């Protein structure tokens, strides 16, 4: 994996911290989800940046209540030991009603340092 091209992996091959985050996020368990991030982590979602634990916790709380939706993991990829992509299919009461989103994770010290969520 030296060419920086993502390769498809099974969802079971995602690092434990990513699986823990995805499970907590899906269950709207903000307390658990926030523990998966480094103290200085950044989340990019819908064009907005959230830096640090407090901002990420607020983002998690808001995203858990803003819309009602179902989320299904449809693909997992690994670029290297620190970079992973988890693609999800969402359906719900948000504008458009359906979307596929890529969650791009960067890990540091077995925690999420950066998460970018994008179509």
Q: pLDDT of 9-38, one tens digit each? A: 999 999 999 999 999 999 889 999 999 999
Closest to 77 measured CA to CA, from 14, 3, 4, 20 = 14
The Cα–Cα gap between 73 and 84 comes to: 13
36 phi and psi, to 5 degrees? Answer: -85, -5
Closest to 85 measured CA to CA, from 9, 29, 3 = 9
pTM of the shown model: 0.93
Q: pLDDT of 64-75, one tens digit each? A: 788 888 899 999
């Amino acid at each position: 994996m030296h060419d920086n091209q993502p390769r498809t992996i099974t969802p079971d091959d995602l690092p434990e911290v990513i699986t823990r985050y995805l499970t907590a996020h899906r269950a709207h368990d903000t307390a658990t989800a926030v523990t998966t991030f480094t103290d200085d982590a950044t989340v990019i979602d819908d064009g907005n940046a959230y830096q640090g634990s407090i901002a990420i916790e607020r983002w998690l709380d808001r995203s858990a209540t803003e819309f009602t939706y179902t989320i299904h993991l449809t693909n997992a990829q690994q670029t290297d030991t620190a970079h992973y992509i988890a693609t999800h299919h969402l359906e719900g009461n948000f504008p458009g009603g359906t979307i596929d989103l890529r969650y791009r994770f960067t890990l540091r010290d077995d925690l999420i340092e950066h998460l970018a969520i994008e179509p």
